A = this chain, B = another copy of it.
Amino acid sequence: MAIRFGLLGAGRIGKVHAKAVTGDANARLVAVADAMPAAAQAIADQYGCDVRTIEAIESAKDIDAVVICTPTDTHADLIERFVKAGKAVFCEKPIDLSLARVKQCLEVVRAHKGTLMVGFNRRFDPHFRAVRAEIDKGTVGEVEMVVITSRDPGAPPVEYIKRSGGIFRDMTIHDFDMARFLLGEEITEVVATAAVLVDPAIGTAGDFDSVQVLLKTASGRQAMISNSRRATYGYDQRIEVHGAKGAVSAENQRPVSIEVATGAGYTRPPLHDFFMTRYTEAYAAEIATFIAALGGKGAAEPSGEDGLIALALADAAVKSVAEGRVVKLSEVM
C-alpha cells in the first residue's frame, strides 16, 4: 500500500521533493498547498495531484504524510499541527532558529508519538554515505579527526542573510550535522573564529561570511570546519576522516569530468555551481528513506533531535565567537 503524501510549499525545494515522491513506487502525491496558487497548480498539473489548502490537507483522510517546504518561520507550527493531525512529517531544516522553540516543538512531537524526519540532505549524498560506510566497516579504525570543507559558490542576498539566523545556523549547521554523522560520538566542545571577508554588507547585517570551527568530543575526537560564502571555483563540499587505521575522504563533484591539456596546463571544469545540482541524488535518497521508514524499513533519520543538536552547536559557535573562548555544548542546551 503506497504512502499518500501532501506537499506543503511548492517552491524550488518543493518541486524537488514532488519529483522524488512521484518517482517512488511506494508513494503517491495526493495534494499540494502553497500561498501562491500558481505555484501549487504547476505541480498539480505536472504530476496529476490536487491543489488544496493547508487546512484541507491537515484534515484529509487520504493523506498519510506531509513534506514541509514552507518558509523557516512556519516549520515548527506546521510540524505541531500535522503531528497532532496524525500525519508523519518530513520537514526541511531547520525546525526553527530558536533552540527554545525547537525544544517545545519536539515535546509536542513526543507527546503525540509523532514521526518527524529533518532534511539534512547531505547525509544522503552517495559519496558521503560511502565514507560513513567505510567508518562503519572499520576500515579507518577509531575515528580521530574529521575535516569538513564547505564553501558556497556565492553569497545569498543580504535580505536572505538577515532572516537566516546567521552563518552558523544557516550554513555551518549542515557541517555540524555531518561532523556528528561521522565522529561517532557526541560533540561536547565548540570554538570558532569568524570574519567578514567576502562582502562588508554581510558584516553590516550583523553576520560573518568566513568562519572556522573546531569541535571536540568527550574522548578527544576532533573535527574542524572551514566555511566561506564565496568560492569562485564552485560549490566546494569535501569531507575527510582520519582514524587509527587509515583515512577516507570524499572529493568534490563536477557536472562533467573531462580534462583539457594545453600549454597552460591541465584543466578540469569547475565544480557544481548550485546545491540542487550537487545534491540531486541526496534529495531523492532522503525522501526514499522517509518513505521506506514509513513502510517499516529503517529509521526516519535524521530525527528532530538531530535537528536540535545541530542548532545547539550553531548557538555554541555564536557564543564562542562573541566570548573568544571554548564553549561547552552543555552551556547552551
A262 touches B242 (CB 8 A): no
Residues of B within 8 A of A127 (CB): 256-258
Integer count of this chain's copies in the complex: 4
Residues of B within 8 A of A224 (CB): 212, 214, 224, 226
A228 touches B265 (CB 8 A): no
User: Do A267 and B270 form a contact, CB below 8 Å, given A195-B221, A246-B232?
Assistant: no
CA distance A282 to B322 in the complex (A): 41
> Chain A: interface residue count, which band?
35 or more
CA distance A212 to B183 in the complex (A): 15
A193 touches B191 (CB 8 A): yes
Which partner residue on chain B sits nearest A253 by CB separation? B257
Which partner residue on chain B sits nearest A190 by CB separation? B193
User: Do A248 and B228 form a contact, CB below 8 Å, given A191-B326, A210-B220, A256-B126?
Assistant: no
Residues of B within 8 A of A219 (CB): 195
A258 is contacted by which of B130, B193, B246, B256 (Cβ under 8 Å)?
Answer: B130
Residues of B within 8 A of A250 (CB): 256-258
**Most chain B Cβ neighbours within 10 Å, of A130, A248, A266:** A266
User: Do A233 and B246 form a contact, CB below 8 Å, given A145-B226, A266-B270, A325-B325?
Assistant: yes
Residues of B within 8 A of A259 (CB): 248-249, 251
A residues in contact (CB < 8 Å) with B: 25, 46, 126-127, 129-131, 134, 139-140, 142, 144-145, 147, 149, 151, 189, 191-193, 195-198, 210-212, 214, 216, 219-222, 224, 226, 228, 230-233, 236, 240, 242, 244-251, 253, 255-270, 324-326
